[in-house]
Structure 1
């Protein structure tokens, strides 16, 4: 039986509340880890609501920074919020509208595992950076370190055994250090480094945690949208009973992403 997918990317504001706000925290650490100089030409592949693009624009003094995404709705949200000099294009991350060696740094945040051929996507990113250029990305540690999703899918599997088949921890085995390293190495990149980035994900209350799951943006919310109302209610109640809640009603979790970077062989001209 073909695996059913629930990956929906059509409402930037809803995605921002669901996952974009946490991606922004990772982006801050990720950009600091890259430690790039000023005046570089950046490309953000699968920019979403501009969590990473905006961080580059604010912190790296780029010569240019272009974010591209296949979702016109996400690009519209990004355009409305990101600071100059960021600009945005609706485009396919598997066929970048950039000439060979047209940028210095190609990055992506939380998108690599959603592309149809991740290895080809990394090779395409390598094509567009010049000699010595950097290709880097971060992805959630779906299988173990992304506590929000681990609590969600454990609750979902308890009320609906079929949920196990679409658990991101099962769907995306690439989101671990060694498979990521292999992708970069197979693309011909050198000096490959993988590192964990962990951020706090604190929710003001259960509604702050649960309501983004009902907005339909991303795999877990897409799964929720397909449930009958009674099953959705059982999932909500199970999740509320199992997440660790503080006396004031807030919920403090952590999220781990894996970050990876590697360079295109050759001497940089920048």
Structure 2
């Protein structure tokens, strides 16, 4: 698995699409104003900034194990109610918090159930969302489907295979295992429109994230073959644009 470190590269790959999911997610949670929020795995601050804009919180603390991400978030989010700290999900601060959220991070936490248990201890409401890697996250699905055809020996790199719990049922199961009784789930689908194939492909060259890290591990000829195989599969419009959708699954307890 690649190590996330550069906020700018992450933004171009999936951060910009996370920013479309975040307001749907916070609107669904529908929490009253003036609450204390904790954003676990805050990354570049996409979810934190949405909470500040849409949920009228008293405060939001964003934590992430990547110093590069935390630095990016501190520069990007200019609001006195927000703070950021370098912490992993295994070393969350003491609560209490009214709302604890984790956007696009649960699959990167080694002990997911234990992390959810800890969130349950220090938070009143706990909610997460993850990409539907196996089906609805189309920009990644086209890549991994091409990989499976071209290099079936590498199919274990496919995030759909690696993270089979990234479904409504899978998330509900993790929450219940962590001790939550009242669990609700929903899907969130957002458009992901690319102006051209280069706009789609360039973020895969950044080396951050599972698919880009895998691509970087290949030699130049195999990278070119992957590029051609993905391009052949994509629905490229007459204007050169590629209109896809990204589905996330959300759960709250």
Q: Per the shorter chain, which TM-score range?
A: over 0.9
**Structure-1-length-normalised TM-score:** 0.91
Q: What is the Cα-based RMSD across aligned positions, in Å?
A: 1.0
Match of 2:165 in 1: 174
Mapping 1:2-41, distance limit 5 Å: 6-41=1-36
- Mapped pair 1:155 → 2:146: yes
Q: Which structure is higher in helix share?
A: 2
Aligned to 1:20, the other structure's residue is in SS state: helix
For residues 170 and 141 of structure 1, the distance between their equivalents in structure 2, rounded to whole angstroms, comes to 11
Aligned to 1:121: 115
Per the alignment, residue 136 of structure 2 pairs with 145
For 2:44, what is the secondary structure of its paired residue?
coil
Gaps of 5+ in 1: 1-5, 263-270
1:141–1:258 CA contact under 8 A, matched in 2: yes
Q: Which of 173, 187, 195 in structure 2 is aligned with 1:196?
A: 187
User: 2:125 matched to which residue of 1?
Assistant: 134
Instruction: Provide the rounded CA distance (Å) in 2 between the counterparts of 1:16 and 1:162.
Output: 30
**Hey, what's the Cα distance between the residues in 1 that align with 2:66 and 2:38?**
16
Alignment pair present for 1:231 and 2:231: no
- Residues 8 and 216, structure 1, Cα contact 8 Å, conserved in 2: no
Compute the TM-score of the two structures, normalised by the length of structure 2.
0.97
- Following superposition, the deviation at residue 158 of structure 1 comes to 2.2
Q: Which segments of structure 1 move beyond 2 Å, counting only runs of 4 or more? A: none
Structure 1 residues 53-92: Cα deviation after superposition (integer angstroms, max 9, x where no partner): 1100111111110100000001111111113122110001
Q: 1:110 — aligned with what?
A: 104
Query: C-alpha separation between the residues in 1 aligned to 2:197 and 2:30?
Result: 37
User: 1:86 and 1:159 mapped to 2: Cα distance?
Assistant: 46
Larger deviation, residues 85-94 vs 197-206: 85-94
Superposed CA offset, 1:197-251 (max 9, x none): 0000000110111010000111011101101000000101111111001111000
Instruction: Report the Cα distance in structure 2 between the residues aligned to 1:190 and 1:199, rounded to whole angstroms.
Output: 29
Question: 2:5 & 2:251 partners in 1: Cα distance?
Answer: 28
SS class of match (2:89): coil
Question: 1:159: how far off?
Answer: 2.1
The answer as to 2:59 corresponding to 1:59 is: no
The CA deviation at 1:190 is 2.9
Structure 1 residue 191: deviation in Å? Answer: 2.0
CA distance in 2, matches of 1:228, 1:69: 32
Q: Secondary structure at the match of 2:133?
A: coil
